[in-house]
Amino acid sequence: MPRRHAPRHGSLGYSPRKRAKSPRARIRNWPEYEGEEPALLGFMGYKAGMTHVFIQEARDYSPWTGQEIMRATTIIDIPPNIITGIRGYKLTTYGYKSIGECWAGDLKPDLKRLLTLPEETDGEKSLKQFEENVFPNVDILRIFAHTQPRLVGGVPQKTPDLSEIGLGYSSIEEGFEFAKELLGKEVHVRDVFKEGQQIDVLSITKGKGFQGPVKRWGIKKLQHKSRKAVRAVGCIGPWTPSRVMWTVPRAGQMGFHQRTDFNKVILKLGEKGEEITPSGGFVRYGLVKGEYIMVDGSIPCPPKRLVLLRYAIRPKRIEIKPNITYISAESKQGD
């Protein structure tokens, strides 16, 4: 039986593989909310590292149902987010267009590192103008939230990360009242997600720079007597048409792309980071001091990078109740 060989690996669905514009991911779509009470549909945090846990398998279709199994998990350092503004969108023939926004009164001074803000912002006046002039024409509401990196031990930055987060509501009036209550306040992750819930994780992958087709696409190397090159494709295309097709494996940027991991399960929501922090801290991150979220499996980004979490846009119709029996706090320094 000859050895099976594939000429190229890597999905073309991710092409073109360009560098992301920013190390901060952005969410382009939000799921349809099915709850009765209005809620935030997303949250932000920073990846701290990975560890492993033992859980009791509760899925009926698993061959290890009822047994204790080991799972790799990711720890996300996730301090409270602050709601800083509300934005309204109107549906036009070219899609949703922003028609107005309002900001909270007492904005954090660190936001001046990110935005050009007025010296004094009257939150009540801004909200009243938005409610009278903008809200009657609004079709969709979103809120602005920012992180607090000063509360995170392993992220050496002071500038907060600002992002737009979707709102889930049954009527737009109900959603606006909910947004007004949150404006200018801190929101904790336990107010948005719960243990066992499926979420989507969006982030920017680790950058690997300019790489050749062998590493970038997984093609086979040519023989050592090959003409001109060994780590290249044997033929880049026919004479006619006289151009290189986009499907041909070529060298280029590898990594630093935005990726989405679907249906990641929340195993634990914690408030004391020391209970899961290894001795000496996480590798290339340090200590987790406050609130954290434990996600099953890995997520596509290096430590210290911003992670966006949202409600699952295409969840599996199963109910998962995580039962953790052991959390490893051993140092992974030698791994």
pLDDT tens by residue, 13-23 = 888 899 999 99
Confidence of residue 335 (pLDDT cuts 50, 70, 90): very low
| Claim to verify: residue 50 and residue 85 sit in the same structural domain | yes
Per-residue pLDDT of 151-196, as tens digits, reads 998 898 899 999 999 999 999 999 999 999 999 999 999 999 999 9
Domain count, the chain: 2
Range of the domain at 158: 39-206+259-327
**Could you give the CA distance from residue 64 to residue 66 in angstroms, rounded to a whole number?**
6
**Are residues 214 and 121 located together in one domain of the fold?**
no
Strands (E), the chain: 39-40, 42-56, 68-77, 81-92, 95-103, 140-146, 162-168, 186-187, 198-204, 210-211, 252-253, 258-270, 292-296, 306-311, 324-327
- Which CATH number goes with the domain that contains 293? 2.40.30.10
Residue 81 clears pLDDT 50, i.e. is over it: yes
Task: Give the domain CATH number at 229.
Answer: 4.10.960.10
DSSP conformation class of 131: I
Q: pTM to 2 decimals?
A: 0.91
Q: What is the pLDDT of residue 107?
A: 84
Residue 31 lies in a domain: no
Same domain, 233 and 167: no
| Per-residue tokens: 89 | 């969108």
Q: What per-residue confidence (pLDDT) applies to 82? A: 95
pLDDT given for residue 145 in this prediction: 96
Whether 1 is in a domain gets the answer no
As a whole number of angstroms, the longest Cα–Cα distance in the chain is 77
